[in-house]
Amino acid sequence: MRVTVDSEQCVGAGQCVLNAPEVFDQDDDGVVVLLRADPTSGTTRRSARRATCARRPRSSSRRTEPAGCADRHRCPVRPGPRTRGPADPPPANTDRRQNHRRDSPVTTADDTAARWLRRYHPAEADAVRLVCFPHAGGSASFYHPVSARFAPGAEVVSLQYPGRQDRRKEPCVPDLGTLADLITEQLLPLDERPTVFFGHSMGAALAFETAWRLEQKGAGPRTVIASGRRGPSTTRAERVHTRDDDGIVAEMKRLNGTAAGVLGDEEILRMALPALRGDYRAIETYTCPPDRRLACGLTVLTGEDDPLTTVEEAERWRDHTTGPFRLRVFTGGHFFLTQHLDAVNTEIAQALHPDRAAPAA
């Protein structure tokens, strides 16, 4: 039986397009191909990965899914097409089966939302909500550990932008305002509950813009946590998106957020660079009016040695909220959060549950 594997739903999928220990692709015949990067050697082997999925008995009407499936309606391991024999019974639930095919057209609002909003773990019915915005070149699975940490007490929703991983064939959105508009459309229909936004780097600016749009519609979050980004109206003359591929790779090396073995792998870079270039264009051409302010609370996290944001530039987020403001400075560079996971999780926990103990200063 041929199967397809959705990398976004697989435990252990890469945390970022270029930090991924496993990067999945699909050939023209629909066979999943695994590109496995070995950061210690810098080598990559390309192999077909097959996964097995328990098949339900023909006498049962209940579908059997593989253990650990995070979302029973979007099983990460799905049977693909096979040749039918003359003795086979007619296929059951044909429409439903076709809706699960990777190449099937998106025809419903639920299908569209599933492309944008990823949930890796179930949450309690009355759980608070955490919406996570990836950095430039990043993917929803970057926040899989965050989801594992806070579920089931929080519904963790991680955004998957177009142009990467299972959305690789969709064009990137090279304008941050347009991307915020599209995300707002997906978040508006969600049920009302206390919500926190968390975004890193480009994701911080995108979280801010999305929160502002939702506030205009009376549906804003309770708190925005902006990590690794200067204040929205503070600009620099950055043109990384106009560089050639080598120039973009050089910038990634400078930020020290990607394994050297991955950066040296041409095949992985070939898949990842279009998303990186599109995201860099979106954030480098982004402008924000100096009087645009949120009404909700704003917590800013920054690394003291971040080459993209000084502490003074991070402080300028204060001008973009009328609510409570808090700045916390960590040791480290642009990806300081990977060195301070416990402290960052504490900040998120405090925002999700402000009635509990305050985080350490």
Q: How confident is the model at residue 248 (pLDDT cuts 50, 70, 90)?
A: confident
List the structure tokens of 238. 């950055």
Q: What angle do CA 319, 320, 325 make, to 5 degrees?
A: 80
Pairwise CA distance, residues 309 & 236, whole Å: 10
Domains identified in the chain and CATH numbers: 112-238+285-352 (3.40.50.1820)
139, pLDDT greater than 70: yes
What's the average model confidence in pLDDT over 79-104? Answer: 43
Side-chain half-sphere exposure of 5, counting CA atoms within 13 A: 20
- 117-136 pLDDT tens trace: 999 999 999 999 999 999 99
Answer yes or no: is pLDDT of 263 > 70.
no
Higher pLDDT, 226 or 264: 226
pTM score: 0.70
Look at residue 283 and tell me whether its pLDDT is greater than 70: yes
Mean per-residue pLDDT, 149-174: 95
The reported pLDDT for the residue numbered 76 is 38
pLDDT of residue 247: 77
Chain-centroid distance of CA 247 in Å reads: 24
pLDDT for residue 236: 73
State CA 142 to chain mean position distance.
Answer: 6
- Cis bond before residue 152 (omega within 30° of 0): yes
Residues with catalytic function:
201
Q: What is the pLDDT of residues 335-359, one digit of tens each?
A: 898 889 999 999 999 999 998 855 4
Helix (H) or strand (E) run with residue 352 in it: helix 341-352
Give the pLDDT confidence of 168-211 residue by residue, as tens digits.
999 999 999 999 999 999 999 999 999 999 999 999 999 999 99
Residue 77 confidence (pLDDT) above 80: no
pLDDT digits (tens, 9 = 90+) for 229-238: 999 998 777 7
Amino acid at 297: G
